[in-house]
Amino acid sequence: MKNTLKIVAIAALLLVCCAALAACGKCKHKNVEWVVTVEATCSVAGTKAQTCVDCGEVVKTEQYETDHQYQVGYCLFCGKAKYGSEYLQYGEITLGGVTGYELVGVGNSTATDLVIPALKNGKPVLSVAEGAFAGNKNITSVSFGPNVVQIGNHAFADCPALATVTFHEKSELQLLGISAFAGCTALTAFVFPVGVEAIPAALFEGCTSLEEVVLHDGIFSLGEGAFSDCAAIAYAERGGAKYLGTAQTPHLLLAGLTDKTVTSFEVPADTRIIGAEAFSGCTALATVTLPEGVRSLGAYAFAGCTSLSSVTLPASLQKIEAYAFAECTVLSELSVPAATATIGERAFYKCTSLTAISLPNGIETLGALAFYDAAITPLSHEGGLYLGNAENPYLVLIGVEADAVSLTVHEDTRVIADSALSGASLASLHVGAGVVTLGARALDGCTALTAVTFAVTEGWQRAATRGVGAVSVTVSDAAANAAALTGLYKYDCWYR
């Protein structure tokens, strides 16, 4: 019996030992490490597992997150800029008596979605400088704060990724610079703020994806080539012409005739702008009726209309752009309305039958060679050559006699035309008290000029385009004036 009990006890002991040995053989997972099974990004959580190195068993699984990972200023995952719009570069500026800031460049920012704030250091952001972002290949959108009053020439030109431009609902924008968005090939739509009255030259030149242009009823002027090479724009076609407009004014901008063989055309009563080249090359066009309300004639608007013998310009007309009536060879006389302040470069070039013109007393700018190769004979007075009207024949100085070495501008003269005295042999020039505009390049190439005196020395502004980026100047030093007007600032218009 005792032997039997011993055998049973030994067997039980063996079973316990075997169980213990079996338990000792199970892995204790003391050597584990984390293994990433799904990579995390800045926007999507990843997965990682705690795995035993000894037996390979997954001990624990959990999700994890990561922040942006930047390389060359942008997140590898989502493309977010490491240095946002707050890193843009600014300079101080005063516009219209208001002191604030001008955005002058990209600075250290790598932002692709630019946000131009209302304020910087408690002062308004008033302007975007000329060429500030020109050629930037990274910007995809820009949002303008409410206080931006002007956007300079070429400010966003040749930004191929710029697809979206938005303005604050209370935007104070008034001035858009020449070619401000030219070459932005990704831009598809543009809505003009209500304060912008003039569309400048070449604004959207080469914007090949631009389809939608939203105007407002206050726009009155279209510069040369504003929509050049913008074949995707959706114009409305009616009555043999194509238009851009608004719900209230569907014919606001007459962009061009679809039939160039017409002999007469009546412009709709709600048209405000005759676009660039609208009637250009209509060689059969003999008569055109312009309604009251038309405020500007675009560049080359009637150029090459060789059968156009007469046209009555409406009293509402404010601007005649460059080459507007160039080579209208049978046009014989024209009266420019009192409201017209600007006549562009070579506006009446080669109007070989044009023998008489009456300019308005309120004219502010006359472009270079506006009447070049026309039949008009200017009035000569003490070396100067003038055009005007019956009331004031000396209204505009357009040139100088070839042998003149000194010129005192007539006291009744209001405007010195662009390039008026270019290449003259003048040694001195006196600008009378009545002059309000001294045109761009007026004294270009006057290598003998040593002195320019002004009867009125204060209150002048200097800018490449009248009203855009104007700088106040005092013109009291005769030698300095001569140097400025033939040197660096010869390209600027001086006005007061």
Q: How far apart are CA 486 and CA 99, in angstroms?
A: 31
Question: Is the pLDDT confidence value at 24 over 70?
Answer: no
- Answer yes or no: is pLDDT of 25 > 80: no
Q: How far apart are CA 40 and CA 43, in angstroms?
A: 8
User: Does 383 map to a domain?
Assistant: no
- pLDDT higher than 60, residue 137: yes
In a domain, 37, yes or no: no
Residues 403 and 487 in one domain: yes
Do 370 and 412 fall into the same domain?
no
The domain tally of the chain equals 3
Based on the fold, state whether residues 155 and 193 are members of the same structural domain.
yes
Cα distance between residue 219 and residue 174, in whole Å: 11
Mean pLDDT within 297-316: 94
Co-location of 210 and 143 in the same domain: yes
The pLDDT of residue 74: 63
**What's the whole-number average pLDDT of the chain?**
91
pLDDT tens readout for residues 390-449: 999 999 999 999 999 999 999 999 999 999 999 999 999 999 999 999 999 999 999 999
pTM (whole model) above 0.85: no
| Pairing state between β 460-463 and 437-438 | unpaired
Domain stops at, among 314, 349, 377: 377
Q: How confident is the model at residue 5 (pLDDT cuts 50, 70, 90)?
A: very low
Residue 101's domain comprises 75-234
CA distance 487 to 496: 21
More confident residue, 225 or 205: 205
Do 228 and 115 share a structural domain?
yes
Any domain includes 428 = yes
Q: Determine, yes or no, domain membership for 26.
A: no
406 and 311 within one domain: no
User: What integer pLDDT is reported at residue 22 of this predicted model?
Assistant: 47
339-384 pLDDT, tens digit each: 999 999 999 999 999 999 999 999 999 999 999 999 999 999 999 9
Residue 16 has pLDDT above 60, yes or no: no
Burial class (CB in 10 A: 0-12, 13-18, 19+), 194: middle
- Domain membership of residue 326 (yes or no) is yes
Q: Count other C-beta atoms under 10 Å from residue 250's C-beta.
A: 14
Phi, psi angle pair for 160, to nearest 5°:
-65, -20
Q: What are phi and psi of 206, to 5 degrees?
A: 80, 10
The CATH number linked to 98 is 3.80.10.10
Query: What integer pLDDT is reported at residue 223 of this predicted model?
Result: 86
Coil vs helix vs strand at 366: strand
Average pLDDT, integer, range 128-146: 96
Regarding whether 92 and 140 lie in a shared domain, the answer is yes
SS3 80: coil
Taking the C-alpha atoms of residue 306 and residue 285, their distance in angstroms, rounded to an integer, is 8
Same domain, 183 and 95: yes
Burial of 337 per CB tally in 10 Å (0-12, 13-18, 19+): middle
Q: From CA 45, how far away is CA 34, in angstroms rounded?
A: 16
Q: Are residues 333 and 427 in the same domain?
A: no
Does the residue 52 lie in any domain?
no
Winning range, highest mean pLDDT, from 43-57, 220-234, 459-473: 220-234
Supply 323's token pair. 């080459």
